[in-house]
Structure 1
Amino acid sequence: MNSDIGDDRRQQLGGATGESRGAPTELRGAAVVLRPTTEADTPTLDRIVREPEVAAWWSVPDDYHDMLAILVDHEVIGAIQFSEETDPEFRHATIDIFLTAGRHGKGLGTDAVRTLAHWLIHERGHHRLTIDPAAANTAAVHSYRKVGFKPVGIMRAYGRDYRTGGWTDGLLMDLLADELT
């Protein structure tokens, strides 16, 4: 795995605290490749995030510059993102992901999450990762469990349902480094 990127791209991918995330140029999983998104990816990602099966859980982002494109056989099939808490007392990282509906249920999301989780733990030194799907998104919860994430608790009225404007519950899940499958 190569984790060196240029200073311009590193600035674009700065973490929540404004520090560089040291985003990878490319990560290879069993079936997926993760790489920083480009402007050329925007139309495809916009189309994917607007698919009814994806839009049920995701709103359309303002841009995709802080995400990694998920590719299978050179085709962009979704995006995955991470953020890092760098305070030494609370250091951890979070992950979020979406895939085109036509690729759901094939293990590709699991592969992408596992690939990024491996990098965050082994290359970035995180001992704990979190992910927070909608509590009703049973397919996502099942996928994350396969990577080793465990439910921690329900976050009530956590996220906006972009279709109805109402609030939905989220499921906080976490993964400790030694639990990664």
Structure 2
Amino acid sequence: MKPLQGTKVELRPVATPDDIEILQRVVREPEVAAWWSPPEDFGGMLAVVHEGEVIGAVQYDEETDPEFRHASIDIFLSARHHGKGLGSDTVRTLARWLIHERGHHRLTIDPAAANEAAIRCYAGVGFRPVGVMRAYALDHTTGTWQDGLLMDLLADELT
């Protein structure tokens, strides 16, 4: 996959041991760890690069059954880059690629229902709440089940 260029970020495959080392540090930041458990493997993720620096990662998954074809997105960024529009640019860049290059008509994203900053970010790109998924994800820090918010975006709603 060739890199995807956003307005502020570039998305490229996680490819080097340095990428992995940086991402392992990022997912341990308290502001990130509150919402993300450290993945076992960063393979298949795209590094989010801003001004030459890896600042996080984004991943997608594709449902290929023609009757249910859609894609989903998941993202984390270093806390020092929160609130700068980089998350929105990342999600928008990947969404455009999934819609225009991969042919998806619908995308989903599923932040924790309590993650208000993420929800605002995704809504700014055009994602709309579909509903709350009760006891959706196990919180790795507390061992309790947390609600998730299912959001979706149709191709013609992308901002």
Do they fold alike, i.e. is TM over 0.5? yes
The CA distance in 1 between the partners of 2:149 and 2:53, in whole Å, is: 30
Runs of 5+ in structure 2 lacking a partner? none
Q: Secondary structure at the match of 1:71?
A: strand
The yes-or-no answer on 1:66 pairing with 2:40 is no
The yes-or-no answer on 1:151 pairing with 2:134 is no
- Give the structure 2 partner of residue 124 of structure 1: 102
Superposed displacement of residue 66, structure 1:
1.1
Structural RMSD (CA):
0.5
- Give the structure 2 partner of residue 17 of structure 1: none
- Give the structure 2 partner of residue 173 of structure 1: 151
Q: Secondary structure at the match of 2:43?
A: coil
- TM-score, normalisation: structure 2: 0.98
Q: Secondary structure at the match of 2:21?
A: helix
User: Which residue of 11, 20, 34 maps to 1:34?
Assistant: 11
The CA distance in 1 between the partners of 2:117 and 2:55, in whole Å, is: 17
User: Which residue of 33, 47, 52 maps to 2:25?
Assistant: 47
The yes-or-no answer on 1:135 pairing with 2:113 is yes
The CA distance in 2 between the partners of 1:62 and 1:161, in whole Å, is: 16
Runs of 5+ in structure 1 lacking a partner? 1-23
The CA distance in 2 between the partners of 1:61 and 1:161, in whole Å, is: 14
The list of structure 1 runs, each at least 4 consecutive aligned residues, that deviate by more than 2 angstroms after superposition, is none
Q: Secondary structure at the match of 2:121?
A: helix
Superposed displacement of residue 162, structure 1:
1.0
- TM-score, normalisation: structure 1: 0.86
Q: Count residues with an aligned counterpart.
A: 158
Identity %: 68
> 2:7 is aligned with what amino acid?
A
